[in-house]
Amino acid sequence: MSFLPVTLAECRARGWETPDFVYVTGDAYVDHPSFGLAIISRVLEKAGYRVAMLPQPDWHSCEDFQRFGRPRLGFLVTAGVIDSMVNHYTVAKKPRDRDVYSPGGRAGMRPDRATIVYANRIRQAYGNVPILLGGVEASLRRFAHYDYWDDRVRNSCLVDAGADVLLFGMGERSILRAAKWLEEGRPIADLRVPGTCVMVSEPPAGALVLPAMEEVAADRAAYARAFKTQYDEQDPVRGHALCQKHGKRYLLQNPPDMPLSRQELDEVYALPYERAWHPMYDRDGGVPALAEVKFSIAHVRGCFGACNFCALTFHQGRIVTSRSKASVLREAKLLARSRDFKGYIHDVGGPTANFRQPACKGQLERGACKGKQCLFPKPCKNLDASHREYVDILRALREIPGVKKVFVRSGVRFDYALADKDGTFLRELVAHHVSGQLKVAPEHISPRVLRCMGKPAPEVFERFARRFQQLNEEMGLKQYLVPYFISSHPGCGLADAVLLAEYIHDTGRHPEQVQDFYPTPGTLSTAMFYTGLDPRDMAPVYVPRDPHEKAMQRALMQYFRPENHALVLEALRRAGREDLIGFGRECLVPPRLIRREGKGEKDARLAPGKPKDGPRKGGRAESAPGRSGKPKDAPRKGGRPESFAQRNGRPGHPAAPKPKKKRPARPSPTGKRRV
């Protein structure tokens, strides 16, 4: 095994006069199967193609792109593992000071919109050389798309890059078919390979024609309709070819490719990866991103969870495919033989760790259901919610010599876990595979926001949390759930953000990090953000855009921090929730911060119901009185303060269910009264 050549001298040492492909990437060169560039380059190598690697070239001129001369077949271009704009900027559009996919974590090693910049430089250097785009950035920007950083609709990445082919999805099959097409010298515009896009003069027969780029840029309703069609047709079984006019030509997306079979996926992960960064990065301390995945195993691809804010549906698709048990164990034994392996497999996961097979048997025959989701609003009656194979693999991994612990750290879909009537997986997860904390993603607590997200009702997460706690108590373990929440998602107003803050308060959680919704290309939620419409039914959706409101929503999730006090007060007053301002147990913040001499401003509460400046009696702080003269934290029925769930059930509370209207009695065929 050895790294692929990164210099012309290394090509010559292999006896190559010129490479077949030069692979240009915005990431540092890491030959590990968690990096797409490693998989595609090794797949091509196995097929007999000569691939030279050009990682993070200097894009300020053409010189670096001429390092290997003109390749025989063409250039492959990717921005890297993630979109270059997401890599460079926070959701507040502030530059990040670190890039974990670059040597030493240095920022600034790739340009903004790297795919376009690299392709333009190649075109400048070599004229009409074939250029094939791939990776997440190209895949998710293959149609006319809303760009959050420019705040406008941009052309397909293929158009702006001036490239010949765009490969979307995972790409192992499509790259080999495209390579053969080039080798045979066939016209690129005639390419009809699943998982590829090309530019054509006229829509081919059978293709669905989307609203043109100019139309979706001018009309938000047209954009929403176009995205819904793209979303519906992102299926390898029933999906159609799609065309979208850009200027005088049409972008043609051929139907998505089928996911790899289990045998094909096993073969991909058995390729001779070095599983390391290239030695040229040793002087910089290596590439930080490798540490996260070096001792992890990806056992699955695809995700039928289909969260609306996640681009996986648009990239990997909804049909899940997985590696065999033998393949996973083979990789684990390889890890265990590594010199720096400490006995811990950090993760056995994927997009969703506890998916192993398609949601139902019909998906491989009919495709994923159009207009329906497998888990939302509740699990489909045809769902195959089984963890038997996954549990079997986890048990076998624990028995490998040298393995001390096997963790599951990538996302566990809790509603799918609960849908499995056999509780073995949850029991085994708690007993053996949690590293003190289990990360889960309820994302919000407001039913209105959860519907926009495509996530299950809050009661589902509460059931999971209770079951997790119960299992830990039975086993005498102290392990905790770490829930992820998103603020400012489309559909989330201040009232919804306050509900989430109440939930965080009443469950005793103190999130250290909070995440604003990030409108990235290729998601249903981003289409909502841009258009103010839900593409599923074209209903209007409230979108929090004002930076100050977004700051208030974010502050509510960390209401307990003194620096957020003013924002939380303002948010509660705007939302009409002054009942949460005070010193009672149910309150989020006191009415003011208390200035202590020499200590600055401090939060007025030491603990719920115990103000720092409250009058003392018998050495104990008393609760501040509420409007009625009673302490706000006085025990209610049952001697306990109300919980979030109890308050939600009160008539008039923002989250209280609306009373159902009684249907009028109507006669039954038997003559008896029926209601």
What is the Cα–Cα distance from 213 to 244, expressed in whole angstroms? Answer: 7
% of the chain beyond a pLDDT of 90? 84
User: What is the sign of the dihedral through the CA atoms of 153, 155, 157 and 161?
Assistant: negative
Residue 321 has pLDDT above 70, yes or no: yes
Domain presence at residue 662: no
Write down which residue in 596, 618, 640 finishes a domain.
618
Domain presence at residue 480: yes
Residue 663 has pLDDT above 60, yes or no: no
Phi-psi category of residue 513: left, alpha or beta, with phi > 0 → left and psi -120 to 50 → alpha: beta
Q: Quick one: CA torsion of 86, 89, 92, 98, rounded to 10 degrees?
A: 120
User: What is the domain count for the chain?
Assistant: 2
User: What pLDDT, on the 0 to 100 scale, is given for residue 411?
Assistant: 83
Two tokens at 49?
Answer: 């193609």
Are residues 192 and 300 part of one domain? no
Bond from prior residue into 377 cis (ω within 30 degrees of 0) = yes
User: What pLDDT, on the 0 to 100 scale, is given for residue 639?
Assistant: 36
User: What pLDDT, on the 0 to 100 scale, is given for residue 644?
Assistant: 57
Q: Are 25 and 53 in contact (CB under 8 A)?
A: yes
Are residues 602 and 489 part of one domain? yes
User: What pLDDT, on the 0 to 100 scale, is given for residue 282?
Assistant: 97
What is the Cα–Cα distance from 160 to 162, expressed in whole angstroms? Answer: 5
User: What pLDDT, on the 0 to 100 scale, is given for residue 513?
Assistant: 79
Residue 646 has pLDDT above 60, yes or no: no
Q: With cut-offs at 50, 70 and 90, classify the pLDDT of residue 30.
A: very high
Are residues 469 and 593 part of one domain? yes
Are residues 440 and 291 part of one domain? yes
Are residues 326 and 190 part of one domain? no
Domain presence at residue 298: yes
User: What pLDDT, on the 0 to 100 scale, is given for residue 511?
Assistant: 85
Are residues 141 and 24 part of one domain? yes
Helix, strand or coil, per DSSP, at residue 442: strand
Tens digit of each residue's pLDDT (9 = 90 or more) over 230-244: 999 999 999 999 999
Q: Which residues pair with 340 in a beta bridge?
A: none
For 223-239, b/e burial (b = at least 16 CB within 10 A) is: bbbbbbbbbbbbbbeeb
Are residues 311 and 169 part of one domain? no
Domain presence at residue 300: yes
The residues, any chain, with a CB within 8 Å of residue 187's CB and separated by 6 or more, are: none
Are residues 175 and 312 part of one domain? no
What is the Cα–Cα distance from 326 to 161, expressed in whole angstroms? Answer: 42
Are residues 300 and 446 part of one domain? yes
Write down which residue in 196, 229, 256 finishes a domain.
196
Q: With cut-offs at 50, 70 and 90, classify the pLDDT of residue 624.
A: very low
Tens digit of each residue's pLDDT (9 = 90 or more) over 124-133: 999 999 999 9
User: What pLDDT, on the 0 to 100 scale, is given for residue 126?
Assistant: 97
Tens digit of each residue's pLDDT (9 = 90 or more) over 579-609: 999 999 999 999 987 655 554 444 444 334 3
Domain presence at residue 237: no
Domain presence at residue 421: yes
Are residues 335 and 191 part of one domain? no
Q: What is the mean pLDDT of the chain?
A: 89
Segment 267-291 mean pLDDT: 97
% of the chain beyond a pLDDT of 70? 88
Q: Which residues pair with 382 in a beta bridge?
A: none
**What CATH number is associated with residue 17?**
3.40.50.280
Write down which residue in 196, 229, 246 finishes a domain.
196
Domain presence at residue 378: yes
Q: Whole-prediction pTM value?
A: 0.88
**What CATH number is associated with residue 415?**
3.80.30.20
User: What ranges make up the beta strands (E) of 29-130?
Assistant: 30-31, 51-55, 74-78
Phi/psi for 206 (5° steps) reads 90, -10
Are residues 500 and 377 part of one domain? yes
Name the residue range of residue 120's domain: 8-196
User: What pLDDT, on the 0 to 100 scale, is given for residue 509?
Assistant: 84
Segment 174-181 mean pLDDT: 97
Domain presence at residue 232: no
